[in-house]
A and B are shown apart, each in its own frame.
Chain A
Amino acid sequence: MTPHVVNVLLSGVFHASILFLVAAGLQVVFGVQKIFNLACGSFYALGAYVGVSAVGWYAGAGGPPALFIVPLALAGLAVGAVGVVVERGLLSFVYDRDETFQLLLTFAVVLMMEDAIRLTWGTAPRSTAGLYLAYGQVRLLGATVPVYNLVVIGASLAIALAIGWLLTRTAFGRIMRATADNREMAEALGVDMRRVSAKVFTLGAALGTLGGALVIPATAAMSEMGIELIVEAFAVVVIGGLGSIRGAFVGALVVGVLRSVAISVYPELEMLLIYLIVIVVLVLRPRGLFGGAAT
């Protein structure tokens, strides 16, 4: 493989690992609550801005640059608490309503969050100057790769495993899966739906905010980043299958790598290619590669 190919593939995988986090957040919420959360892109944007601020504060306080990822990730996770506010404050009122209203309520969050970010951080792009290469670069198969990218890819893989462990090996995971399968039955067996909904939605939000925080050293935070990412995350979950974590993993790899390849080969194709794949998947196999039955 030539260095150029390695570079293209690795930047695709880096993008995929961020996409996976956001898409996984979308999937746990859809799987358990049957809500397609348009606001997961907004959580991602929020995580990015909070990440920039946290790292700025950390650098200002004189923290060693090598450890900047610690406050970054912690801030990203902590701001996921916004999920419980959105769930308790808005969504919990419309659980007995048609899913159209739930979808529109998450769209309301998209609108509010976009301007809330502009109001708080201004309209100019924000970035974590210089920290991207704090870990230096390595040569890999002839290509030069920032170590930070590899750290994020590793972290994303670890989180994927952790979600798998949570779902299959813990009591809460069993409750989540039971609720996803049959909400009424789970409730009849004594599951407190209010708590499960709050926890699941917060988990989904935290995955999004963490994704946003982790991406930020490699790029700049912009107020539109949320509404742009949600359509990519949407492509990921459609390709992988709604509600499936494994689907999110495969879908993220497909979208991330294809996009990266398309940009280097024929830039005009970029997202066009992704959406065409989405349509083909929806038409031929609407439940996606790993999804349950389509309704």
Chain B
Amino acid sequence: MKRGLVVTVATAAVAAAPFVASTYHVLLMLPFMAYGVILLGLNLLFGYTGLVSFGHALFVAIGAYTGAFLTTHGKVRSLEVILVAAASFGTLVAVPVAALCVRYVKIYFGMLTLAFGMVFYTFVLKFYRLTGGDEGTPFLRPSLLGQSLDAMPKVDYLAGPYYYYSLAVLGLAALCMWRIVHSPFGLCLKTIRDNPAKAETLGIGVTRYRFYAFVISAIYAAVGGALLGPPTGNVDPTLAYWTHSGNLVFMTLLGGFASFFGPVVGAFVFIYLQNWVMSIVPYWRLIFGAMLAVIVIFAPEGLMGLVTRRGPAPTSRA
């Protein structure tokens, strides 16, 4: 299996990074791994079910704010508890939102998700007594596996235990998602994407399956969102803003929505490229906008599409 080899080598490289790469680059890997989790979930909705959400940042922000609240107001510092709480709260919000959104497809689905995202954004922005407004809420350093690591210097904590913790979460998330998309459930989602009418005739509850896909992707977004907090130590409302949702779709498209690992590749390239561009000029949006336009027009299957197109045998859309 060629793909198995590539994944093993990539995982080994990421695991070895703290020993060989500079601290700066190691710290950049943290948002990459958080976004990796988020985008694996988003792509279940986008790539596998064919629904484009322009409000997925809502769930990212929910996960991040759940963690920030628990650490600052709730005196809960265990990251395991935080991740479970983020997933639970994400589910709680996702169930009614999903129930309303999956009644629509295409542009109406996109608009409804965008509206929900903006509701949460305005809520955290305006109710500043609760959320800190545009200053955000601090996300105190969580303990890992029951061990309080407050005594450690911040960089050592982030580049050491927290790094491997994030990697483990990403690995576990990828494993679960792999099982999901290759299960009968995943195959049903692809059928729905390719031909909803036929899926309905075959006895697949189209709306119900879309609902499940939405909720699962929201849980992934909330867990990834909670992982975004500790590296910066603060979460703010821009996490829920619609342009953040747009960037999530951008990253997925950049890597390739038709490939399982495409979104993870997209997150990696996006974050490194953005940092590199910003170290030269402050106008990263100009360059990234042009890049997005080029991808949409010339390479709609993203970077993974470019890589696999030259392969000897055409791989499946999964």
| Interface residue ranges, A against B (CB under 8 Å) | 36, 38, 90, 93-94, 97, 99-101, 103-105, 107-116, 118-119, 227, 231, 234-235, 238, 242, 267-272, 275-276, 278-279, 282-283, 286, 294-295
Contacts and interface: CB of A to CB of B under 8 A. Distances in A.
Interface in B122-141: 122-123, 126-127
Contacts of A270: 122, 126
Contacts of A279: 100, 112, 115-116, 119
A112 B292 CA distance: 10
Q: Main SS of chain B's interface residues?
A: helix
Given A90-B297, A99-B107, 13 more contacts: A36-B107, A100-B52, A103-B110, A107-B250, A111-B285, A118-B283, A231-B242, A234-B111, A267-B126, A279-B100, A279-B119, A286-B104, A286-B108
Contacts of A227: 242-243
B107 A119 contact: no
B302 to A, nearest CB: 12
Interface string B98-120: 00100011111011101110110
B289 A97 contact: no
B241 to A, nearest CB: 8
Q: Main SS of chain A's interface residues?
A: helix
Contact of A103 (B52, B115, B242, B286): B52
B40 interface: no
Contacts of B38: none
Given A94-B297, A115-B285, A119-B283, A272 B107 contact: no
A108 B111 contact: no
Interface residues of B, number: 39
B284 interface: yes
Interface of B: 52, 54, 100, 104-108, 110-112, 114-116, 118-119, 122-123, 126-127, 242-243, 246, 249-250, 253, 282-286, 288-290, 292-293, 296-297, 300
A268 B300 contact: no
B296 A99 contact: no
A108 B292 contact: yes
23 contacts: A99-B107, A105-B292, A105-B293, A107-B249, A109-B293, A110-B246, A111-B289, A111-B292, A112-B285, A112-B293, A115-B289, A118-B282, A119-B286, A231-B118, A235-B115, A238-B115, A272-B126, A275-B118, A282-B108, A282-B115, A283-B112, A294-B104, A295-B108
